[in-house]
Structure 1
Amino acid sequence: MPSERQDPQRPHDAQERPSAWSGTALVVRGDEVLEEVSQGPAAGEDGPRCTPGLRSQAGSISKLVVSVVVLRLVEQRLLDLDVPVSRWLAGTPQGWAGITPRHLLGQTSGLGHWGDVPGLPGSLLVDPPARDDLVRMIIDAPLVADPGDAWRYSGPGFLVAALVVEAAVGAAYGEVADELVLRPAGMRGTTSGRHPTDLAEVALGHRDGELLPLLEGFTHLPGTGDLWTTAGDLVRLSQALRAGVLLGERGAERLWTPYAVVPGAPAGGPVVPQAYGFGTFLGTVKGHRARINPGDNPGYQSLLAHLPEEDLDVVVLANDEAPAVDAALRSLTAV
């Protein structure tokens, strides 16, 4: 299972730079690209190199998209943040009676992370179980806390949120995300729930420089690792949220208002999470106050961050594993 740690104008200095990461990094202020770096292999050492237009898996940045979808449906009065999810999902255990969409988006549902689900394969190089099987495993897994009691990062919780969306709307989550988020934001290179067929347009994942198999199963887990996207499209998402294209002011503020403190947040690196809103960490990037959406899947690591005081959008889509995002951020000079 994914560990989930966590074409605007081109700048004149876009170039390949030697560094210990592979992929694309982008720093944008408004319509101006301040820095764009693409480097490393897109498909093995002897294959093509990474370019800005290649699509990558965005991992848990999909949690931001789920959060926006849920909040749009709240605005449309199709969902309520404080109604138990059992209202929409049949067969949930009694212990789930207190879990609401608010808990899911704020990571206080009491559901554990992938390692807390008994029976999941331990290897990160195998496809996850089929969706229905995985949902049953999540439902059968014991809660790690009472709903609302404590913050605990949960990839399964966002899969449950996507299932609530499907039940409320009566359509596949990927279709709802496309209608409510991707198309309005102008994210033409982004898909939810669709595995890429043209690998020439994809930056394939690597581990320590070695090409990994492209696992299709992660694409079919709605809301948690199902997003394929480009750096430019992630900037469009961030800017569309701030421009009121996707949510009203109250809905957008819910993403960025601290809902829970992140316990034991690591210090010392360029990305420091301190609190959590809805689908979004709040903290610092290279010492600057930031809204932070990180992600990783096997072979990939990603980051979307907005630095409000500097009015900067920062994106890293790396197709080799950790410490890819940290290395990319340290190499950037515009932030």
Structure 2
Amino acid sequence: MIRRLVRGAALGVALGLGGAAAAQAQAPEAALGDLLGAFQARYGFPGATAAIALPTGEIVTAATGLADVEAGTPMRPDTRMLAASIGKTFVAATVLSAVAEGRIAEADLLADHLGDRPWFDRLPNAGGITVGQLLRHAAGLPDHVHMDSFAAEMSRRLATGGDALPPEGAIAFVLDAAPLFPPGEGWAYTDTGYLLLGLVIEAALGGAYDDAVTARFLVPLGLTGTVPSNTRVIPGLAVGYTVPGNPFGMPPRTMDADGALVWDPAMEGTGGGLASTSRDLAAWGQALFTGQAMAAPYLDRLLDGVPVSPDAPDIRYGAGVAIYADTPRGPVYGHGGWIPGYVSSLRHYADPGVTVAFQLNTDAGVVDDSSDLVPALEAALADLAIAMAQAAGAGR
């Protein structure tokens, strides 16, 4: 994950029409569609959607390619894909909303909420972890997703049609493991930590996380294209395509002929846990990073980050958000998402006040960092979004 954060900071080189020229020469939707089409022609991915949220409140959307290659189904702007780890922004926001209500504190020890679980004392750094450290991946926990034993269990469940592991079943893969560092003395990305945060949320609020995020954010913000990814059949979901020989033993097409995923996405839990559209992701990012996602002030806590590496002093990780403090386009906040068959990106450019999101229905060339597609597309979309914002401002 650190490699992806550092690589993302470079922001790539724009491809196709220059942002300013496209914004001036074409309608916004046409310019965005042409840019996506140029990237598909160069990189050969099945399909993509993208959205740009402007300071005016307008959200520009476009799509290119196919949502189902075998059936020839075109990708549409409202096509859903698995948003993967971008869901962590919703988990962290749910924690911050509970903090504002006095039901959770960032200084709370994890033991205050989960210490009665029979497995708790076997958790690495069990006694010293705080909620704030979990939010920022600073708890010293391993990541179960990248353990060979977890990959083997995923492959077994795929082969037998088994359901997802519950969160505590996934957390079990790190029990009795050595901590990576003492709590608060380093940074290591871990989905396991966000599964623990999901359990904290449910213990503190007395209900399911899916219900909490729906009631607190999805409904109030009108994110009707976003739903919990807790079932194999998700209406409007594009087919995802992954690489042969992947660690989880999945077939290249991750959806069967009846529209059901070949694996149970509930396995992801609060490590992500949502299917969404690029339009909704852009709307969410615009609300979240401009302080409009909840009534109580929260931006200072959201953007209170820890360094991810001594080699990348300008990159920090806040409460479920990567923070790029110094880029050619000014401060950038956001998150990426990868899950077999899908890649998503969410970026907010603070100075021009624009948010950009895109989703791809393949992870080929992305999961192994063998392609520059993601940073290059982020850069091209950023330039186009900034030019659109400038054009909109000049037109007022």
Matched, 1:191 2:233: no
**Post-superposition offset of 1:41:** 2.0
1:268 matched residue in structure 2:
none
Deviates more, 1:230-239 or 1:306-315: 230-239
Equivalent residue in structure 1 for 2:33, among 3, 15, 19: 15
Question: Matches of residues 291-330 of structure 1 in structure 2 within 5 Å?
Answer: 291-321=333-363, 322=366, 323=371, 324-330=373-379
* Alpha-carbon displacement from aligned partner over 1:152-178 (angstroms, at most 9, x marks no partner): 111111111111111111211111111
Alpha-carbon distance in 1 for matches of 2:356, 2:377: 11
Q: In the alignment, what sits opposite 1:162?
A: 198
Partner residue of 2:320?
A: 279
Q: 58-67 or 324-333: which moved more?
A: 324-333
More strand by percentage: 1
Matched, 1:334 2:384: yes
- Is residue 205 from structure 1 mapped to residue 235 from structure 2 by the alignment? no
Specify the structure having the higher radius of gyration (Cα).
Answer: 2
Give me the CA root mean square deviation: 3.1
Q: Is the 8 A contact 2:144 2:170 kept in 1?
A: no
Q: Residue 93 of structure 1 corresponds to which residue in structure 2?
A: 121
1:72 to 64, 75, 97: 97
Structure 1 residues 115 and 187: alpha-carbon distance in aligned structure 2, compared to 1, 3 A threshold: closer
CA deviation map 1:215-272 (0-9, x unaligned): 54333432112111111111221232224342522x222112333343445xxxxxx9
Q: Where do 1:47-196 residues align within 5 Å?
A: 47-89=72-114, 90-91=117-118, 92-93=120-121, 95-114=125-144, 117=147, 119-121=149-151, 130-131=165-166, 132-195=168-231
Relative to its length, the structure with more helix (as a share) is 2
Query: In 2 relative to 1, CA 116–46 (structure 1 residues): closer, same or farther, beyond 3 Å?
Result: closer
Shift of 1:327: 4.4
Q: Calculate the TM-score normalised by the size of structure 1.
A: 0.85
Given the alignment, which residue of 263, 272, 286 partners 1:239?
A: 286
Q: Separation in 1 of the partners of 2:28 and 2:194?
A: 35
More deviation, 168-177/210-219: 210-219
Relative to 1, partners in 2 of residues 1:226 and 1:274: Cα closer, same or farther, differing over 3 Å?
same
Give the 3 Å change call, closer, same or farther, for CA 32–40 of structure 1 in structure 2.
Answer: same
Give the distance between the partners of 1:331 and 1:215, measured in 2 at CA: 34
1:246-261 matches, within 5 Å, as: 246-249=294-297, 251-261=298-308
Percent identity of equivalent pairs: 24
Q: How many residues align?
A: 323
Question: 2:154 & 2:349 partners in 1: Cα distance?
Answer: 32
Query: Scaled by the length of structure 2, what TM-score is found?
Result: 0.73
Instruction: Return the offset for 1:114.
Output: 2.8
For residues 340 and 326 of structure 2, the distance between their equivalents in structure 1, rounded to whole angstroms, comes to 24
Cα distance, 1:50–1:273 mapped onto 2, change above 3 Å: farther
- Three-state SS of the structure 1 residue aligned to 2:67 is coil
